[in-house]
Structure 1
């Protein structure tokens, strides 16, 4: 039902046909990147946290970003505590592996992390463990009903433009 609620959500922008459904799993950042054929950083992962009230808050961040607890606490005024899988389903209507800020069961606050701003387009899940949609940053902001862009992550972009083991370094 979750996948269908997301497709229905996209109907208001006539984008439901752009939701991709895969034969293989896209439940993790690495699986999604491999399935789509892109860098893991371009996967827009949705993380669910306990809010200051009874409803959860959702943070959408680049696939290579990690929550910075100090930045989170400074911005929100409380400690970052992720929801348990059953709480995620209860709050969002989506199971782990398909969590996204679209077609939500409850009206939840959504925040987008600046770690995604370096890309023209990103790929969030669409309510199932084998779906995604390609969106611009502006579309993601609009379609998710995001409150604002935030800077609460760390460690993103660390491996970009750095030579790997099999790459030569120019001297």
Structure 2
């Protein structure tokens, strides 16, 4: 079976779910090069100013593919939302869902997780970080 392209389009087409049920785990770096994992729904983007404010830092930037691999052991597009010893911030819109789908460790796998478990397992702070 040929899989549809893209980490967001693939689960939408295969599972028949909407973008707001998909989560994106995006690694950022602060000005001291500390990693921060931001989790938002598939229909949203991370507002870097809001993320920096929540983390009490001046500025954040998206991590490079090399930095993502170094700090998490995963490739971009496969990054699971849990299992990291990294500061994690979940956008409050994620918690509107009971269950969400995110990176499962490879580009061809998904993790289905209850949002209450996501928050607990990621030891995450929940705040407004989406634009």
Short-chain TM bin: 0.7 to 0.9
- CA drift at 1:33: 2.1
- Give 1 or 2 for the bigger CA radius of gyration: 1
State the superposition RMSD in angstroms: 2.1
C-alpha distance 25-109 of structure 1, shift in aligned 2 (>3 A): farther
Task: Give deviations 1:89-111, integer Å, cap 9, x for gaps.
Answer: 1111010110123334xx21111
Aligned residue number for residue 130 of structure 1: 108
Q: Which of residues 35, 47, 50 in structure 2 aligns to 1:56?
A: 35
Contact 1:47 1:60 in 2 (8 A): yes
Q: Structure 2: 5+ residue runs without aligned partners?
A: none
Q: How does 1:1-171 map to 2 (within 5 A)?
A: 24=3, 27-76=6-55, 77-104=57-84, 107-146=85-124, 148-154=125-131
For normalisation by structure 1, the TM-score amounts to 0.67
Greater strand share, structure number: 2
Q: Structure 1: 5+ residue runs without aligned partners?
A: 1-21, 155-171
C-alpha distance 51-100 of structure 1, shift in aligned 2 (>3 A): farther
Contact 1:58 1:109 in 2 (8 A): yes
Aligned residue number for residue 158 of structure 1: none
Task: Quote the Cα distance in structure 2 between the aligned partners of 1:100 and 1:153.
Answer: 19
Task: Quote the Cα distance in structure 2 between the aligned partners of 1:27 and 1:100.
Answer: 16
C-alpha distance 69-144 of structure 1, shift in aligned 2 (>3 A): closer
